[in-house]
């Protein structure tokens, strides 16, 4: 279900362009300085490009892959001038994202023929997990879907309170229990209530900690098992929320969560406040888990479905190398 058609293409493009401005300015500013006075792509230019990609948090492995692709292009074409580097980079980054499982679908494909569609949301504290849940709830409701939230992060009073505030703000019910309650019990009650209400979508907030990988794995496995007593297919998605402004730290967090549970999708937040937007490329390429959403600001509509082609186009638009 393409729920994000509720926002116009123009609105989405404006938010995306503004959200990536710091990344674009930093990356292309460095690249322009690196190729100043040079007419062709040679070893020195490639060395400079490699350093720029790594310092833009694209990641070492992804950077090496991009450089290798450009080297093959230079070898094949014999001569590549620096003016062509812009279009070559755009092509190769777009190809990487395609191969990493990112297609051009708009966010989650919510199916209403089997209710409820259960999304379990994971991630460490401070990455914008609860805010992402609230924004998703808003956008699902705007699309005409009935939404229920579950406050299964029972270890922090602030987490439950924040989710309740989002529920009131969006106008959707929040299922909660007392502080310290069993998170799996909250998840069970949430899915059970959602099923009884005929809800379309359930969003389950989970504890944001990663200090004990085995403990996390056991907890998330237990949550999944109890939900499956009500909805055998649950969860339909396990969404990992990452803070894009932390760069490679986000990548390390993602690796740990993927080891702990079956992450099916990523949401990368806070891209508007950082020049580290290249982390989207590296995380997507290295982890082979599709990026479904990117956070580009504070407003409800600033959480966007990740569209590979739109992202690459925005990153390179009006950034011609001189």
Residue ranges per structural domain of the chain = 6-99, 117-307
pTM of the model: 0.91
Percentages of the chain per state (helix, strand, coil), in multiples of 5: 55, 10, 30
Closest by CA to 108, choosing from 260, 21, 237, 234, is 237
pLDDT digit string (tens) for 153-198? 988 888 899 999 999 999 999 999 988 889 999 999 999 999 999 9
CA distance 107 to 315: 19
pLDDT at 169: 95
Query: Burial of 148 by CB count in 10 Å (0-12 exposed, 13-18 middle, 19+ buried)?
Result: buried
Structure tokens given for 19: 């959200």
Q: Domain 6-99 is of which CATH architecture?
A: Up-down Bundle (1.20)
| For residue 1, pLDDT beyond 60 | no
CATH number of 117-307: 3.40.50.300
pLDDT digit string (tens) for 110-157? 877 888 999 999 998 889 999 999 999 999 999 999 999 999 998 888
């Amino acid at each position: 279900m393409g729920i994000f058609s509720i926002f116009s293409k123009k609105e989405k493009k404006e938010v995306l362009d503004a959200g990536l401005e710091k990344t674009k300015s930093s990356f292309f500013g460095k690249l322009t300085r690196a190729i100043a006075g040079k007419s062709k792509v040679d070893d020195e230019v490639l060395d400079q490009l490699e350093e720029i990609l790594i310092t833009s948090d694209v990641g070492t492995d992804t950077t090496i892959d991009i450089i290798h692709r450009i080297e093959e292009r230079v070898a094949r074409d014999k001569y590549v001038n620096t003016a062509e580097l812009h279009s070559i980079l755009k092509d190769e980054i777009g190809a990487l994202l395609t191969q990493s499982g990112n297609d051009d679908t708009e966010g989650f494909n919510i199916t209403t023929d089997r209710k409820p569609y259960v999304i379990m949301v994971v991630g460490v504290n401070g990455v914008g997990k609860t805010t992402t849940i609230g924004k998703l709830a808003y956008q699902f409701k705007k699309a005409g879907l009935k939404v229920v939230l579950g406050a299964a992060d029972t270890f922090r009073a602030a987490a439950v309170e924040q989710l309740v505030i989002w529920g009131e703000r969006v106008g959707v019910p929040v299922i909660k229990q007392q502080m310290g309650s069993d998170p799996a019990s909250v998840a069970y009650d949430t899915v059970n209530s959602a099923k009884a209400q005929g809800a379309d979508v359930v969003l389950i907030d989970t504890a944001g900690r990663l200090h004990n990988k085995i403990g996390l794995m056991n907890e998330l496995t237990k949550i999944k098992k109890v939900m499956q007593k009500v909805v055998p297919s649950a969860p339909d998605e396990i969404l990992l929320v990452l803070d894009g402004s932390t760069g490679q730290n986000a990548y390390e967090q993602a690796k740990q969560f993927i080891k702990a549970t079956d992450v099916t999708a990523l949401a990368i937040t806070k891209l508007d406040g950082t020049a580290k937007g290249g982390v989207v490329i590296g995380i997507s390429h290295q982890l082979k888990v599709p990026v479904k959403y990117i956070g580009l600001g504070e407003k409800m509509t600033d959480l966007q479905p990740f569209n590979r082609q739109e992202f690459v186009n925005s990153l390179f638009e009006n950034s011609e190398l001189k």
